[in-house]
Structure formats: structure tokens, C-alpha cells
Amino acid sequence: MKTIKLLFLSIFLISIVSCSNEDDNTVLLEVQTETVLNLHAPQIGGQGQPISGAFTKFSFETGTVTTSDTNWDIAFRGTTIIVNGGESLGTNDEPVRTGNAAAYIANGTMASVTEVDTDLLIADSTNGYAIPSGSGNGWYLYNPQLFLVTPIAGKILVFRTHDGRYAKVEILSYYQDAPENPNAMVDEGRYYTFNYVYQPNEDVTTF
């Protein structure tokens, strides 16, 4: 009798699990893979001078630059990238964080980083940004001989958006129109080109 009961119970459980899977599949939104070209991230000052100027805000949901004070996920100014979560470092013109965004940097390729390790996510704080600034610390290397900013190969930026979704980003270029071999003397800098994958479904941590 006991075994039969157990059998029934297992079948019942299996069916629930598989049902719920099917249910999810029908509602799940499609994962979005996009490329952003020439996101302009100007700044004032730098190289010893105080840095200021508005950050260029970006929303993964719309896939566009936004001026909204709340519906943004990440923002760019020069080589600095901030998230809409945590606290401001207190630099000039830094926007107020209103959301729950966070980030970390994974080693890998867009294809190999398939799951978010939520334990690693940190928000911006008064001590520093979630994406560390400075050459070799975060996403880029600066070559002082050529004055060139180059994205480090194998660095995937993993984000939680302001409203709890996830995205992964690979920055490809810091120069306008993403030239094959950028020249800091000729090519205009502070123009981001990046690939990203956005998981629009809440609480889904895979891409």
C-alpha cells in the first residue's frame, strides 16, 4: 500500500512541476540580444581637473538612452559606468540612485557567461562603484603611450536592472563608429559600442 501511495505522490508532484514549466514557457518573454552603437558619454574636466557633466543613462528594457530620473539601469560618463542602485560616490552631477540595480564583472565571453551569480552583485557605494574605475581595475586598459582606452578581452559586465531583471554586457569600443584599429589622435572617444543580452523576465537568472 505504502509504495503505491508513494508512487501516486511522485506522479502528482512530477505533473505539477512539469505543468508549471509549461505554464512558464508560455508566458516567458524572449531574451533580447542587441548591439548599441555610439552611445555618447561626454564629461567635463578630467586628467587632474575635477570631473563633471551629466551622465548618459541607459535602460535595458527599452534598449535606448533615457533622461528619466528613475527608469534607468546604468549610466556612462567618460570611462565611468554607474548603476541605478546603492549610493552616490558624491562626484559632481552624479544622479540620485532610485532603483535596485547592481553589478559585477565576470571573466568569460558572452557565450560562456550564462548564469548570474547573484552573490557577487554589489551596488554603487560611497566607497566606490560596482564597476571599478581606473585602468586595469574594471572594463578597460589605458595605454599612456598611445592615450588609448581599450576594453579588456574576457570581461563581461553582469547587471541587475533597477527593477530586478538581469543583463550582461560586453563593451567593444570606446571610439566613435568603433574603428577596427582606433587611434586616440584621430578617433573621437567617449562613444561606447557594446553588445548586450537582456533577460526581461523577473527572477530568471539565466541568459
Q: Are 56 and 95 in contact (CB under 8 A)?
A: no
Q: Which is nearer to other proteins, 39 or 54 (CB)?
A: 39
Q: Which is nearer to other proteins, 101 or 148 (CB)?
A: 148
Q: Are 74 and 82 in contact (CB under 8 A)?
A: yes
Quote the CA–CA distance of 103 and 116 in Å, as a whole number: 10
Quote the CA–CA distance of 17 and 4 in Å, as a whole number: 20
Q: Which is nearer to other proteins, 72 or 198 (CB)?
A: 198
Q: Are strands 189-199 and 32-40 parallel, antiparallel or unpaired?
A: antiparallel
Minimal distance, residue 109 CB to other proteins, in Å: 5
Q: Which is nearer to other proteins, 159 or 174 (CB)?
A: 174
Minimal distance, residue 152 CB to other proteins, in Å: 6
Q: Which is nearer to other proteins, 45 or 179 (CB)?
A: 179
**104: Cα within 13 Å, side-chain hemisphere:** 12
Minimal distance, residue 106 CB to other proteins, in Å: 11
Note the residue count of the chain: 207
Instruction: Name the site residues for other proteins (rule: CB under 8 A).
Output: 107-110, 112, 141, 143, 150, 152-155, 170, 172-173, 178-182, 193, 195
Minimal distance, residue 150 CB to other proteins, in Å: 5
Minimal distance, residue 193 CB to other proteins, in Å: 7
Range 22-26 contact pairs with CB under 8 angstroms and sequence separation of 24 or more: none
